[in-house]
Amino acid sequence: MQKSQHIVAYRSGADIAACDPFNPEAALATPFARTGAFRHFEYSRDGSSLAYVGPEGLTVVNVATGEDVYTFARKGIIEVSVSPNGLYVCTWERQARPDPETKRPHLNLLIHSLTTKAVIAEHAHKAQASWAPQWTDDETMYARLTSNAEVTIYSTAQRGSTFKLRATNIAAYSLSPGRNPHIAIFIPEAKNGNPAIVKIFSLGNFNVPISNKTFFKADKIKFIWNKIGTGVLLLTSTEVDATGQSYYGENNLYYMSTAGNWDCRVTLDKEGPIHDVAWAPNSKEFAVTYGFIPSKTALFSYRADPIFEFGTGPRNTVSFSPNGRILCIGGFGNLPGQLDFWDMTKRAKIASVSCPNSTQLSWSPDGRYLLTSTLSPRLRVDNGWKLWHYRGVCVASHAAKELFQVMWRPCAQLAPNPESWAKRELSPAPAGLAEAVKPKPAGAYRPPSARLGPRAVPGASFTQPPPQKRTVPGAPQTGGLVPRNSSPQSQQSQSRGNSASPAGAQQQNGSRGRTQGEKPASPAPAPGTDPQSIEKRSQYLIKKLKQIMGLKQKMANGETLDPAQVRKLESEGEVRMQLAEMGVTPPL
């Protein structure tokens, strides 16, 4: 795959467009660009079409020709997703109140057919976190979790044909990929002491589960299927860690086979949370990053037997290249942004790089380049992306004033074969591109109190003075400090007594004369711009930012946030911008 065939689409505050990531200013053979404030976009799995939503509604574009193939005018659409083969597009908008006359609920989840150019189904779905329907790979069926805690499967071939999977208190479900789809459901722990349970059914036969597993300490779950859909990893979590060692609760990892002949708990030899889990493209191995920082990363077989250990370090992310030859282990969020590239055939580290402040990473379709990006509203400054060759060379970078989304264009026909790549010799680093963008030096850490020390305060017209020692007239000398037993009332009385004396009156009259004859040397600071107010404001914003980070972790664990929490989550960019204006480095 040549560089010219690498294409990314991005969404900024002013437009949405596709470009060559190595040279964003170069014109493409089929240019695509739209101007306006857009909310979201998605590529189809084969990269043939792109769907995006804006203030006026939904638009689907044929990437090969750049022409609009479908439009749906409706204001208020927020989310969009594309089915595996790109024949259907799903949209979601916030649910309004039911019609007062008909009492019919607002149908805010729509299924659009790009074949018939029409809406083929409408549903009512309140929660934004779990709005997207799940599809089988052949697109003959899709499933969704309804409000009465049951999974409903809809047929696209026979309109109106549905069948339901009923169980008590289903909290989550997941459809497997592959030619023979299965469905897994999760029922959390009950208040009467019954353990949580996961059941796997063959799609269409819900009488008897193929496999089931029970376990405790599981309030939420994340299903992680291998590529061919023969096995699933279950990442469970609790709201509260009973040992008190983790703020984000307790995690456990289990494995289940769709054949029903094997299930187990994945044994991890380091205490702490499970940061990330990823299957290898060959579906025979998976990598786990776990434990308190410095965390540990290890490779396991599909039967959960340990194979190899990658060591420890400040890491919380693992990602296999599409060809499975390279494994990237990184530390993002509040970690310094170090990336390690490993050759999975030789089990050897290839390179290590630093990309601080990155919020997202994704591999190119051919598995040669890794794209790291800094996006808003996670970070409002230093937005843009960088391209890294797996040899550890930054081959390109692009800065943007405001960047909300960036995504590789999928190229299924050019996707590499993992078996052939496992035997191939890795190519050397590209020549002449090693002097790309270098990270800025981090500098020494300064606590918040020292950041507003004796220096100019941003937004104010004064310099913060050093702390002054106070003395009380007539009090014994204590090194210039105010004695503890000197109350404000006594200080005021002593001050009045001093001003009543001839010397005090002369000093007071002299100062009054200067005030009437001269202008003050410097005006009093405006309300809210004094150092004390700025310090209090920065402490409040840092506390709010930590609460937002906790909400993001809850959302990543699959928990549904209420509207107030969602609004707080959306204010992250504004909080970080205010801290930046104060000169305070916000925690990542």
DSSP letters along 314-351, please?
Answer: S--EEEE-TTSSEEEEE--TTS--EEEEEETTTTEEEE
Of 2, 80, 5, nearest to 44 by C-alpha is 80
Strands 134-135, 118-123: parallel, antiparallel or unpaired by DSSP? unpaired
Of 352, 376, 378, 372, nearest to 360 by C-alpha is 372
- Per-residue pLDDT, 417: 62
- Per-residue pLDDT, 112: 95
The Cβ of residue 556 has, within 10 Å, a number of other Cβ atoms equal to: 11
DSSP letters along 526-549, please?
Answer: PTT-SHHHHHHHHHHHHHHHHHHH
Q: Are 372 and 361 in contact (CB under 8 A)?
A: yes
Whether this prediction's pTM lies above 0.75 is answered by no
- Per-residue pLDDT, 461: 41
Domain boundaries, the chain: 146-265, 531-582
Give the residue ranges of the chain where pLDDT is below 70: 1-4, 27, 243, 245-246, 412-425, 427, 429-530, 586-588
Mutual angle of helices 572-581 and 563-570, in 10-degree steps: 40
From CA 484, how far away is CA 475, in angstroms rounded?
11
- Per-residue pLDDT, 420: 61
pLDDT in tens, 382-413: 899 999 999 999 998 898 889 999 999 987 65
Upstream peptide bond of 188 is cis (omega within 30 degrees of 0): no
319 Rama class: left (phi>0) / alpha (psi -120 to 50) / beta: beta
- Per-residue pLDDT, 382: 86
Q: Six-digit token pair at 268? A: 């991890």
pLDDT in tens, 182-233: 999 999 888 888 899 999 999 878 888 999 999 888 889 999 999 999 999 9
Q: Are 322 and 416 in contact (CB under 8 A)?
A: yes
DSSP letters along 154-181, please?
Answer: EESSSTT-EEEE--TT--EEEE--SSS-
DSSP letters along 272-309, please?
Answer: S-EEEEEE-TTSSEEEEEESSSSEEEEEEETTS-EEEE
